[in-house]
Amino acid sequence: MLTETAYAKVNLALHVRRRREDGYHDLESLFAFVDRGDVLSAAPRADGGLSLTISGPFAQGLDSGAHNLVMRAAQSLQSVCPERSRGTYAQGPSTSLGNSGGVRDDASGQLGANLHLTKNLPVASGIGGGSADAAAALRLLNRLWGCNLTDRALCVIGETLGSDIPACVISQSLRVEGRGEALEPLDLPGLSGIPILLVNPGIPLGTAPVFRGWDQVDRGPLDTSSLQAVISSGRNDLEAPARALVPEIADVLERLRSTPGVTLSRMSGSGATCFALYDSPAARATAEQALAAEYPAWWLMSGMLR
């Protein structure tokens, strides 16, 4: 059995520039990824089938059937995996086990897997969620099945499933433009390893109504020339419409910004999860302990930026 982390995504800044004729929005965003998230595991199965089970604190109510993004990602990869015609499983990207140690389905020649998702991240919360899970499925099954596909090829598959999935396949800091398909890797000095605290007030928030509430005012481009530029001049243009739908977001941000050692606090994506970056792990730990005691209904997760 192999495992893969579906890393939580945060938008350190999110500028909405315009609404396009196709209904999508042109965005400029800086994606960063936390070193924690959901966990996906997979074991090969001999009949070429696919199954998904889900556990964890946010598993309740999730559909594990064919419409789940993890299953859709698995089906998409299954249809194009170069190993499919041979019916062999591999331990890694370049090692084929064949009949000596793998599992073979001579009848169909199709690769299959039993998948299990441990859902640690809240649903509809602006931190990747299903997109990160689908991306983890592509990375994981690419290894399990020995498909040998590059990240670029996995991103092409991911783009057919959702706008954020290609970025989540890479799961490194990225400047993202368009509706999410234009990705530029960014290595901003000082970004990797920053302590981060994620906080959600416990209220799910759908993306579509938040975008519908955007006031359609273009407030200018995103400067990603440095981390300081992102902190000082970046923003999240979806915060106002999200706060109109979930006023508790304002409470979370106000409390985070009052904690000692915080260097940046914003809402991530379309909300309702907010984040704070800290100048030290000790400051983050102190903030986490205080918030957990004061607001037991809030969801908190601490980590480091990858």
Beta pairing, strands 95-96 & 195-200: unpaired
Q: With left for phi above 0 and alpha for psi between -120 and 50, is residue 83 left, alpha or beta?
A: alpha
Amino acid at site 260: P
Q: What is the largest CA-CA distance in the chain?
A: 63
> Could you tell me which residues come within 8 angstroms of residue 153 by beta carbon, excluding any fewer than 6 positions away?
none
CA distances to 30, 51, 104, 232, 244 from 167, in Å: 11, 25, 33, 24, 28
Residue 100 CB-density burial (10 A; 0-12 exposed, 13-18 middle, 19+ buried): exposed
Question: Which amino acid, 294?
Answer: E
Q: Find out whether 34 and 305 touch, Cβ atoms under 8 Å.
A: yes
- Which tokens go with 166? 């290609």
CA distances from 226 to 148, 185, 233 (A): 35, 13, 11
The CA-atom distances, in angstroms, between 127 and each of 14, 207, 227, 261 are: 13, 11, 20, 23
Q: In what order do the strands lie in the sheet with 299-304?
A: 262-267, 274-278, 195-200, 299-304
Query: Quick check: helix, strand or coil at residue 82?
Result: coil
SS3 for 134? helix
Which are the catalytic amino acids? 9, 164
Helix (H) or strand (E) holding 113: strand 112-118
